[in-house]
Structure 1
Amino acid sequence: MSEPTMYSEPTYGNWRKPRTGGIGKLGALETALLIGGLLVTIILFRLIGPIGGAVALAVMGGAFMFLTIRDKHGRSAGQRLLARRLFKKASRARRNIYRSGPVGHVPDGKCRLPGLLATSELHEFEDSFRRPFALLHMPTANHVSVVIEVEPTGLALNDRENIDDYVANWGAWLSGLSKTSDIVAASVTVETAPDYGVRLRHEIDANMSESASPAARQMMEEVKETFPQQSAVTRAYIALTFTTWRPGSDRNRKIEDIGLDLGTRLGKFTEHLEVCGAGDAHPVDAQTLCEVVMSAYDPVLAEHFDAARSQGVTPQVSWDNVGPVAAEAGWEWYRHASGFSKSWVMSVAPRGVVFSNVFEHLLTPSADVDRKRVTMLYRPIPAGTAMDVAERDVNAASVRSGSTKRPSFRAAAELASAVQTAQEVAKDASLINFGIVITATVMRSIDARAASYEIEDLAGTAQLTVRPAYGSQDVAFTAGLPLGLVLPDYVAVPARVREAI
């Protein structure tokens, strides 16, 4: 009789940041600058003599170090200085201040969304199951987004085998996105917020029997008073972003055509999420999406929405009025209506291998943070080009490893990792670029420091290296919303230039 095999919990890792080939730790553009600087210095030595050449060499060497020596987040001193100068310039021009509404600067007097969402348009259609779904159109990037609300089962009362099956199915679901030609991005947002207990109090009052005993009444009154003070609600959303252009088409599709197309396909995306541990998955309608965005910018409204829902009243809101009346972006904070937020972005993924519960503490409610959003951003690489990307990464790692006679252990490890990735892609695995945005919102500015310490500690438990979105707090706040924004498509610097740095 054979003995039962012991369960071995799987680990996850081998995340790679795309890099181009260069000398040592340098990228392709930095290597070109180094070689060009050396050639210029040699010419100056011949033209102006050794003293002038030495001065030019010192100046170029200092400038090169200023542009290439990086901190733990991968940012050079030149990048940090440029970000600071651009923010100061925007602040002097008061472009970091937003005022809307009847007394604001919006021409029609409405409370439109600021920044990247200013030109967005919201439409509503029905899918093949007759479920209404919101369709967010971003004309600037020629993108549309669909938001799906899910109810994750979590880790409680789940065996490790089931959890690992959920992770595997989630990986397969993400892999399927790269095989869909018009999907450009996906995001998962997990938001924790206070449960104000409005619905609970209304439910208790509506069902309280007149013949109830004094003890029962006293107990329920105590529940009404104490439960909302110690509870939180967790909501999760998945946003899928599609391009309005399809291969073979000579122009962008009309919104009506896109709505009809996605209506027939949306069921395919939602029905497979249950096996990923997402629970009930259903598309978000326009009304709900408006309430989600309004509550993010003005957290006070969340309690009023709950109160209205508990009484069977649906507040009339429109996309033209979901923005904040006032907002101001600081260097490391963002003040919006009744909220005060700070956002962090992932600079380095977890090193080594991790287990499936690596984000458990990060996603749970935090005592020092009123509202917290953790958004994971995914950009699938099309299946037809994934192998080319993997091969380029192997070639770049080979160049870095072979640029010296005795390559470092890190260079050898990067080459081995790149080769492993290429082998997996050759076996029909997918490549996905990913990032994380964490946003903490408090109601009082004096609580911001405690919230900041809390988030940074939680990021450490998740083995994440994060940095505050200095000078771009308003943009990071927007990226953390469950709206499917694809930030690289709004950057002026071409992607090839950014990857070469």
Structure 2
Amino acid sequence: MSDRPTYATYGNWRQPRETGLLGATFGTSMLGIGVAVLVIFSGLLLGMKAAIVIAVPVVIGFIPLVSSRDGRSGYERGLMRFQFWRGVKRREHIYASGTFSRIPGRKYRLPGVLAETELYQGIDSDGRSFGMIHMPSKSAYTVVFDAFPQGAEAVDQDVIDLYVGNWAQFLGSAGETSDVLGVVTVVETLPETGIELYETVHQNTLATAPQLARDSAYQLATGLTAGGIRLAARIAITFEAKTAERKKDPSEQAVELGRRLPGLTAAAARAGVPCSPMDADEIMAFVRRSYDPSALVDVESGLHSSEGTGLTWEDCGPRTAIETPDGSKYVHDGAVSVTWEMREAPRGAVTEQVLQRLLAPNSGVPIKRVAVIYRPHSAGDATEIVDRDHHNATAEARGGSVKSMGVASAKAQIDVAATAQARMEQARGAGVIRFGILVTVTEPAESSDVPKIDALIEDLSRQSRLSIRRSRYWQAAAFASSLGVGVIAPDHSTIPSFLST
């Protein structure tokens, strides 16, 4: 008998879609059939020449719908480019705030969809202060938790499997209530300043202690952290206000969230992720240093001392932010950020360590942020989705021709088995959740080497079996989405859904 440990594997991720003609969606197929009927009747009533005149532009207009690349139809790609080009022409890709700007109040407000947000502070039923970001246009409130993941060091595999199962229950329970718009987990690496450890030693060192003991403690605090890279993690949960009172009055929503936060932190702890709500000062600190990395030392000095950061929500934005005209970079306050998005989930079975290479500190990219965005379906929607997905997979498997018997039909049978398993798990209480990943890297503008970063991130993603692409034409929005402050990108999309693949 072998003593080699057995590792649990995970996977079976699917992108549900309705099966139509030529691999197109059901809606696109119905549109194609309607176009074909129109051309046929035109030929019968007006003649062949008239039918050709009608058919040629219609076919040309139909091709972009079935021409998919990187998960986007031709119309999606074209419309994104057009909207971005129009914004550049209007100089909307440039953001300037502060004393000499046109921003109301001459403040340093956050750019884009975050400009309307406000930050409030409440107290939960355990007596802990928590910050609450309000986005009025979406009636959305976001609470951020400071997380301390357990990790896999000296933890048995069965315990890890239990953590994964409890995390699935944590996410699934979000779909049991209709007010959770999204859950965003963020793991980022930052240069280690040593301020937190130094302030901790300073606050716990008696002034009457022997000089040698004090000197040793301070030297140890500064020596352990010099020049290193540290990991930080947080969880952001965005809720939608469901009553008129909560939509208008943030204090009403704060009472509701304060009642629920202890249960959420307990559920996260059972998943191996102990966490506590971030107060307003802590939220402002990470937002400020994300837009202006040079402020890292200042905000941490204030945060870990009795003085506080001295920030207000209106001061957390960048002085200047520019999305480059080619839509590939985001320049803000002397830094350059590039964001990539998940193109496809890892294929096949993976272990819980699949993203380890991407999450781990890397000296080549000291400031790196990986955000996993979860959007849970409600229980009713989940049942309908898995049933429809299984029906479509079965129809595709049964509709294969003799010529397609082989690799294609084998894949279809695998899809049928996968959707059947999803139905069974959902019936047993599992949730159905959409998810995506954003990876953001920030470097000083004067020393940034984007091609090198691009190659490094591509390599790390391949090691993580993750397919990614550059978030072209929405770098500023992707940067905000990866922060975990309430920006759920699909909720702000301006591209009609019927143009998607």
Common topology (TM > 0.5): yes
Aligned to 1:19: 17
User: Could you say if the C-alpha distance between residues 88 and 492 of structure 1 is closer, same or farther in structure 2, counting changes exceeding 3 Å?
Assistant: closer
Larger mean Cα displacement after TM superposition, 471-480 or 437-446:
437-446
Partners of 2:434 and 2:17 lie apart in 1 by: 13
Counterpart in the other structure of 2:370: 374
- Aligned partner of 1:36 in structure 2 is 34
Question: Is 1:339 matched with 2:339?
Answer: no
CA 1:199–1:431 in 2, change beyond 3 Å: closer, same or farther?
Answer: closer
1:311-460 aligned at under 5 Å gives the runs: 312-330=306-324, 331-406=327-402, 408-409=408-409, 410-444=411-445, 446-460=448-462
Instruction: State the alpha-carbon separation in 1 of the partners of residues 123 and 246 from structure 2.
Output: 24
Match of 2:83 in 1: 86
Partner of 2:260: 265
Residues 81-90 or 231-240, more deviating: 81-90
Matches within 5 A, 1:248-259: 252=247, 254-259=249-254
In 2 relative to 1, CA 33–275 (structure 1 residues): closer, same or farther, beyond 3 Å? same
How far apart are residue 225 of structure 1 and its match? 7.1
Q: For 1:202 and 1:269, how far apart are their aligned partners in 2?
A: 30
* 2:146 corresponds to which of 149, 157, 179: 149
- SS of equivalent to 1:261: helix
What is the alpha-carbon distance in structure 2 between the residues aligned to residue 115 and residue 462 of structure 1?
32
**Identical residues among aligned pairs (%):** 30
Q: Which amino acid aligns with 1:254?
A: D
Q: Give how far 1:468 is off.
A: 1.1
Q: What letter is aligned with 1:159?
A: D
2:397, 2:287 → 1: CA distance? 48
In the alignment, is the contact (CA less than 8 A) between 2:302 and 2:310 conserved in 1?
no
1:244 is aligned to 2:241: yes
- SS of residue paired to 1:484: coil
| Preserved CA contact (<8 Å) 2:197 2:221 | no
Q: Equivalent residue for 1:69?
A: 67
Give the secondary-structure state (helix, strand or coil) at the position aligned to 2:226.
helix
- The equivalent position to 1:183 in structure 2, one of 180, 183, 194, is 180
| 2:97 is the alignment partner of 1:100 | yes
Deviating more after overlay: 485-494 vs 332-341: 485-494
Asked if the contact 2:169/2:430 (under 8 Å) is kept, the reply is no
**How far 1:436 sits from its partner (Å)?**
1.0
Tell me by how many angstroms 1:226 deviates. 8.6
Q: Structure 2: how far apart are the matches of 1:178 and 1:13?
A: 20
Q: Which runs of 5+ in 1 are unaligned?
A: none
Shift of residue 482 of structure 1?
1.8
Note closer, same or farther for the CA distance 1:352–1:201 as it changes in structure 2 (3 Å cut).
same
Question: Residue 357 of structure 1: CA displacement?
Answer: 0.5
Letter in 2 for 1:260: V
Instruction: For 1:337, give the aligned amino acid.
Output: D
Q: Is the 8 A contact 1:368 1:447 kept in 2?
A: no
Describe the shift of the 1:395–1:199 C-alpha distance in structure 2 as closer, same or farther (beyond 3 A).
Answer: closer
Question: Are the counterparts in 2 of residues 342 and 441 from structure 1 also a CA contact under 8 Å?
Answer: yes
Post-superposition CA distance 1:446-476 (Å, at most 9, x none)? 3222222221111111211111111000010
Write the deviation string for residues 149-205 of structure 1: whole angstroms up to 9, x where unpaired. 111122223232322221111111111111123222211011111112345567789
| Cα pair 1:373 1:439 within 8 Å, conserved | yes
Which residue type is aligned with residue 423 of structure 1?
A: M
TM normalised by structure 2 equals: 0.89
Residue of structure 1 aligned with 2:472, choices 470, 475, 478: 470
Distance 1:218 1:422, change over 3 A: closer
Letter aligned with residue 348 of structure 2? G
Q: How far off its partner does 1:478 sit?
A: 0.5
Q: Given residue 70 of structure 1, which amino acid in structure 2 is its aligned partner?
A: S
> Could you tell me how far apart the structure 2 residues matched to 1:202 and 1:416 are?
56
Could you tell which deviates more after superposition, 150-159 or 469-478?
A: 150-159
Partner of residue 194, structure 2:
197
CA offsets, 1:73-99, max 9 Å, x none? 222333222222221111010011101
In structure 2, do the counterparts of structure 1 residues 376 and 310 end up closer, same or farther at CA, with 3 Å as the change threshold? closer
* Structure 1: distance between partners of 2:253 and 2:218: 50
SS of 1:112's equivalent in the other structure is coil
Could you state the TM-score of these two structures normalised by the residue count of structure 1? 0.89
Change in CA separation of 1:450 and 1:222 when aligned onto 2, cut-off 3 Å: farther
Equivalent of residue 298 in structure 1, options 289, 292, 299: 292
Aligned length: 490
Alpha-carbon distance, 1:314 to partner: 1.4
Deviations 1:219-256 (A, max 9, x none): 98799579422x1111111111111115xx79846311
RMSD after superposition:
2.9
Counterpart CA distance in 2 for 1:219 and 1:308 is 21
CA distance in 2, matches of 1:5, 1:227: 39
1:10 paired residue number: 8
For residues 54-112 of structure 1, what are the alpha-carbon distances to aligned partners after superposition, in whole Å with 9 as ceiling and x for unaligned?
Answer: 565455444433331222x2223332222222211110100111010001120210000
Name the counterpart of 2:272: 277
Whether the aligned pair in 2 keeps the contact of 1:113 and 1:320 (CA below 8 Å) is: yes
CA drift at 1:284: 0.3
CA offsets 1:231-285 (integer angstroms, 9 cap, x no match): 1111111111111115xx7984631111111112110000222221113x11000
Correspondence for 2:120: 123
Partners of 1:103 and 1:109 within 8 A in 2: yes
Q: Is the 8 A contact 2:245 2:252 kept in 1?
A: no
Query: Per-residue deviation at 1:146?
Result: 0.8
Moved more, 289-298 or 7-16: 7-16
Between the aligned partners of 1:395 and 1:460, the Cα distance in structure 2 is 33
SS at match of 2:146: strand
**Rounded Cα–Cα distance in structure 1 between residues aligned with 2:425 and 2:64:** 38
Residue 405 of structure 1 deviates from its aligned partner by 2.9
In 2, the alpha carbon distance for the partners of 1:329 and 1:311 equals 35
- Unmatched 5+ residue regions in structure 2? none
